[in-house]
Amino acid sequence: MITLIHSDPQLRTPMYFLLSVLSFIDSSFSTLNTPRLLQSFLTSSQSTSFAGCLVRMTLMTLHGTAGCLLLAIMAYDRFAAIYHPLLYHTSMSQRLRVQLVAATYMASVANSALLTGYIFKPLYCGPNIINHYVCDIPLALQLACADVAKAEAIVFSSSALIILFAVTIILVSYAYSLVTICRMRSLKAQSKALSTCASHLAVICLFYGTITFMYVQPSSHSSMEQNEVVSVFYTVIIPMLNPLIYSLRDKDVKPALKRGCLDMLPS
């Protein structure tokens, strides 16, 4: 998806720039987790070093936070395209897009450093085995032999604030977008506007649903098996589904994909 967006001139718009960033986040999730999952299935090597677990957990938190905030930016981008279509490229200029993405990653780095620091403050004196292929925050906390109430509170508060902030932007953006769509006199224009929002809404429901289940609940309310299933869903399945959701419903991506495939064929 990233290569397609940057190689096709018709896809060099603000919306597809943000989509390419989302694709980068998805590929990062897959790169972090899929090889480890395959290694667990194909070999007898099940162990992970403490340092390796720390690095993967930090990167997963970073990209998860970035994905959460980026979906909010994409909702505002959809509002800008629907509310002022003629001024869309001006209101979502390249400078603004770069600034928004940079701010997203700065906030993600800060949140990742905060959470990882609190996660590894408690003592881990055993057991040291996680029944999972992912070093995720809720799973790591269940191994601590000290009181993790403060760490759980930090994880809950941070995750809830980020999700609440992002969801507020999404709801406000789509509320204004819906009002604008209802005022359109052309059914064709309404259909086109709704079509551009449908893919984004599907990705939002998948992403925020699993993230909320994983992080915005006390560890006592979830089992290791539940966390295992849900984390596989949002670290492996959702990153694979997102490109399909956007490409199958987008009227610009499908022709660009066909052109890209034709260009690869020998003349």
Q: What percent of the chain has pLDDT over 90?
A: 19
Question: Residue 256: inside a domain, yes or no?
Answer: no
2 falls in which pLDDT band (50, 70, 90)? confident
pLDDT tens digit sequence for 78-113: 999 888 888 888 889 989 999 999 999 999 999 998
Host domain of residue 189? 48-248
Question: Residue 204: inside a domain, yes or no?
Answer: yes
Q: How far apart are CA 98 and CA 104, in angstroms?
A: 10
Question: Residue 93: inside a domain, yes or no?
Answer: yes
Rounded to an integer, the average pLDDT of 23-40 is 80
Contacts by 36-42, CB closer than 8 A, 24 or more apart: 36/133, 36/134, 37/133, 37/232, 37/236, 39/133, 40/133
Domain count within the chain = 1
| Of residues 81, 84, 61, the one with CA closest to residue 17 | 81
Q: How far apart are CA 73 and CA 98, in angstroms?
A: 12
Residue 164 has pLDDT above 80, yes or no: yes
Question: Residue 84: inside a domain, yes or no?
Answer: yes
pLDDT tens digit sequence for 183-214: 888 888 888 788 778 888 888 888 887 777 76
Question: Residue 148: inside a domain, yes or no?
Answer: yes
Residue 177 has pLDDT above 80, yes or no: yes
Q: What percent of the chain has pLDDT over 70?
A: 75
pLDDT tens digit sequence for 36-57: 777 766 776 656 666 677 788 8
User: Which one is predicted more confidently, 225 or 115?
Assistant: 115
Q: How far apart are CA 58 and CA 183, in angstroms?
A: 45
Question: Residue 261: inside a domain, yes or no?
Answer: no
Let me know: does 36 contact 133? Beta carbons within 8 Å: yes
Lowest mean pLDDT among 149-153, 172-176, 213-217, 260-264: 260-264
Residue 72 has pLDDT above 70, yes or no: yes
Lowest mean pLDDT among 48-52, 127-131, 136-140, 146-150: 127-131
Residue 240 has pLDDT above 90, yes or no: no
Question: Residue 220: inside a domain, yes or no?
Answer: yes
Q: How far apart are CA 137 and CA 120, in angstroms?
A: 10
